[in-house]
A and B are shown apart, each in its own frame.
Chain A
C-alpha cells in the first residue's frame, strides 16, 4: 500500500513560516573582514568548525549575492562610507552581525580614526563579544539570527519597516559639539566625504 494513502498530499502552513524556514537555513554571509577577527571568521568557515552545518557556508565577496553581513574587525572612518555602500548594495531581506569588540564598540582602539561601534552607522542584529570571538561564538550568532528570522520574519520583510529610528548608542548625538562639527560638502555616497551633523538644542556637552 502506498504511503500516499496514509498522509494528506497537501500541506497547510503560513507563507511567512515557509519563507522563514527556507531563509534561515540558507544565509549567505558577506565577509566584511577588516582586521584580525577575519581570521576567526575564516576558521569558522573551514572544516574544523564548519559553518556549513548550519547552512551558511556560501560566502560571497559580492554584496549583491549575500543576505548576512558579518563585520569582522575594526572599522576606521575612511571605511564607513564603504561599509554603508556595501550594506545598501545587499538585497533584502538582510541581516548584520557585528563580530568582535572592535566592530561592536571600537574595542581598545579609542583613537581619532576608529569608529566606536558600527551600529552608529548601520543597523546591527546580533553582536558577538570577544577579542576575537571563538568560532563557536560566531556559530551561536548565526543560530541566533536563524531564531530571529524564524520568530520575526515575514515573507515581504515587513518587520524591517518598523525599525525606522537610530539603534546605536545614545551618546552619539551628544558627542560632538556644534562648534566642532566639520562642515564639508558631500555625503556618504561620494566616497569619503564628511558632513555636518544635525544639531539639537542640547546644552554643550563634554566629549567622552
Chain B
C-alpha cells in the first residue's frame, strides 16, 4: 500500500474508503463524513503527502445509479509534481442542501473549478470566496447537469424576445 494511504489512515481512521481503477487510487469520502473531514484530508494530502497540484474538480450526479449510496459526487484530481503520482479524492453530498468545504484555501485554482461544479450541479462550497454561476446566465435557476433536468431544458433557451424586421 502506498505510503500516503498509511498517513491518511493514521490521521483519519474510518473516514474514507479506497479503491483502485486502472492503476489510479481513489479515496472515497461518504456524505456523512465529508463536511467534517474533506478539507483536512485534502490538506494532509497536499502538505504531508506531496500531492501539491490540483488538476481538476469535477461533479457527478449518481441519481438512480446502481449501488450508489449518495447523490452528488465531487472528484478532486490531485497530482504529485515530484513523483508524478496521482490520487482521486471523491467526496459525496446529498439533497436537500448539498454542501462541501471549499478547497480554495488550499489551491487558488479551485476557484473557477468549484464555481463550475456549483453551476452545473448545485453543490455549494462552504468558504468559497465568490460562489457565482460561471457558465450559465446568472438568472438561470436550474442546475443543468443534474440527471433529473431534461436534456432540452425547460424552455429557458427560447425565453427571449423576438425582433421583427419592421422594428429593427
A positions within 8 Å CB-CB of B: 76-78, 80-81, 84, 87-88, 110-116, 120-123, 160-168, 172, 175-177, 180-182, 184, 186-188, 192-197, 207-208
Contact = CB atoms under 8 A, between A and B. Distances in A.
Interface of B: 136-141, 144, 149-168
Q: Secondary structure at chain B's binding surface: helix, strand, loop or mixed?
A: loop
Contact of B161 (A116, A121, A165, A181): A121
Given A111-B153, A112-B151, A160-B166, A196 B159 contact: yes
9 contacts: A77-B156, A112-B157, A114-B157, A122-B168, A123-B165, A163-B166, A164-B164, A182-B154, A207-B152
B160 A188 contact: yes
Contacts of B151: 110-112
Contacts of A182: 139, 141, 154-156, 159
Contacts of A116: 157-158
B168 to A, nearest CB: 6
B160 A81 contact: yes
Name, among A180, A182, A196, A208, the residue most crowded by chain B CB atoms within 10 Å (CB to CB).
A182
Nearest to B167: A164
Given A77-B157, A175-B155, A184-B139, A84 B144 contact: no
